[in-house]
Each structure stands twice: as C-alpha cells, then as structure tokens.
C-alpha cells in the first residue's frame, strides 16, 4: 500500500508564460507533459503564501473577525490571517504580526496547527495555520485599518459553537474551517494540543529563515 503522505513531484514543462501580473499574485500558463506523453496547457495563480492564526483563549473562545470578501460577495467570519509579503519571511513572525494588527492580541504559546494548499487545482497558495494560546491584549495604539479591514468586526466565539456552525454550512472561510476542525482533532489525539509541532517546524512548501 502506498504511504498516506503527500510527496513532491514535478512533471516536465515544455513552455511557460505569465499572461497576468498583479500587485501580489500573478497567473502562470504552462504546457505540461502528461504520463501518456501528451502535452496540455495549465493555468494557475502564483501566490506568495499565507499564515493564519487560530487564537484560543482561556475560556475556549476563538478570536474571529468578519470581513467583506469581494470575489465571493460575502462577509465571512475568519481567523486572523495575512500574506507572506517578504520572500523567505519566517511564518511565525508573520503570524505574530497579523494577530497584533487584526486583533490587537499577543500570545505566549505558539504551535503549528496544520499546513494546507488552499486550492491546489488552480493556485499554488500554501497556508500555515498556527494555534496561539496564552492570549493577552497588546499595549499601545491599535493598527490603523484601511480598505476592507476598515469595516472589520471582531469577536470571540466558543470553539464548539464555531464547529457547529461549520458543520451546519454557516461558515465557509477555508482557514477558519480547517483551523477549528483541526483543533478538535488534535485534542482527541494522543498528547492533545501539546503534541502539535513546534512553531518553528520546517515548512517545505514555503522554506524560511530561522
């Protein structure tokens, strides 16, 4: 039986172009050689990668925010998240920054909750979702929100309530869904949350400097 583990593999590309270049992402078109020898064109979004934070407080509430997402024409409940804007940036540093900027919160305990590819059929975005515990408010001025974030709502919601809402089809944000269900799965596994990977665990999808 094949091991149940994702493995790196790269099929041969005979031609490539970038028909669109945006501020943060681009679109790549590549002609890929299939196993039968045929060549087919594949378009995908090139993405710098992201981090997200499932911030869990002492009352078992999760820090969530509600933000407008224009492509899907919805206001979605989400967990704090952001782009890896700097190539090679340590994802933990980025996660600490996003938790501060979006929720004005800091954490004493950080673990890697899970790593995912959001839409591997059409985008190379990789996301590392952290679990943050030991929460406390950050002193000083709050980060100045702009654009979609200027309309953002902030709340703390019981973890079990979020799980019920996910399974009821009321919540759809990828990182929130994966994060909430991963925390519940980790709790049920041997060692519980303390058995999660350390915050500086290697991330082959987006290698970083220690």
Instruction: Single out the residue of 47, 35, 39 nearest to residue 13, CA to CA.
Output: 39
- Give the residue extent of every domain in the chain: 13-46, 50-195
Task: Give the per-residue pLDDT at 106.
Answer: 97
For residues 65 and 77, is the Cβ–Cβ distance under 8 A?
A: yes
What is residue 146's predicted lDDT score, i.e. its pLDDT? Answer: 53
Q: Which residue shows structure tokens 């540093």?
A: 93
Give 177-185's long-range contacts (Cβ < 8 A, gap of 24+): 178/114, 178/116, 178/129, 179/52, 179/54, 179/79, 179/113, 179/114, 179/129, 179/131, 180/54, 180/62, 182/54, 182/113, 182/114, 182/129, 183/54, 183/56, 183/113, 183/131, 183/159, 184/159
pLDDT in tens, the chain (210 residues): 789 999 999 999 999 999 999 999 999 999 999 999 999 999 999 999 999 999 999 999 999 999 999 999 999 999 999 999 887 789 999 999 999 999 999 999 999 999 999 999 999 999 999 999 999 999 866 655 655 666 789 999 999 999 999 999 999 999 999 999 999 999 999 999 999 999 999 999 999 877
Q: What is the pLDDT of residue 1?
A: 75
Active-site pick, 125, 139, 147, 149: 149
| Annotation: CATH topology of 50-195 | Nucleoside Triphosphate Pyrophosphohydrolase (3.90.79)
Active site residue 101: no
């Amino acid at each position: 039986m094949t091991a149940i583990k994702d493995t790196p593999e790269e099929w041969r590309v005979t031609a490539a172009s970038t028909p669109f270049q945006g501020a943060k992402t681009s679109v790549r078109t590549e002609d890929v050689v299939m196993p039968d020898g045929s060549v087919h064109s594949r378009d995908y979004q090139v993405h710098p990668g992201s981090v997200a934070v499932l911030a869990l407080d002492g009352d078992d509430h999760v820090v969530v925010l509600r933000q407008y997402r224009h492509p899907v024409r919805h206001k979605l409940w989400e967990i704090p998240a952001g782009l890896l804007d700097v190539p090679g940036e340590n994802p933990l540093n980025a996660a600490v920054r996003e938790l501060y900027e979006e929720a004005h919160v800091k954490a004493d305990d950080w673990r890697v909750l899970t790593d995912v590819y959001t839409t591997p059929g059409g985008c190379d975005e990789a996301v590392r979702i952290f679990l943050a515990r030991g929460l406390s408010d950050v002193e000083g001025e709050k980060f100045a929100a702009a654009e979609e974030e200027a309309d953002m709502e902030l709340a703390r919601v019981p973890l079990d309530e979020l799980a019920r809402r996910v399974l009821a089809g009321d919540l759809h944000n990828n990182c929130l869904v994966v994060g909430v269900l991963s925390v519940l799965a980790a709790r049920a596994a041997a060692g519980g949350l303390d058995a999660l990977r350390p915050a500086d665990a290697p991330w082959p999808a987006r290698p970083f400097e220690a």
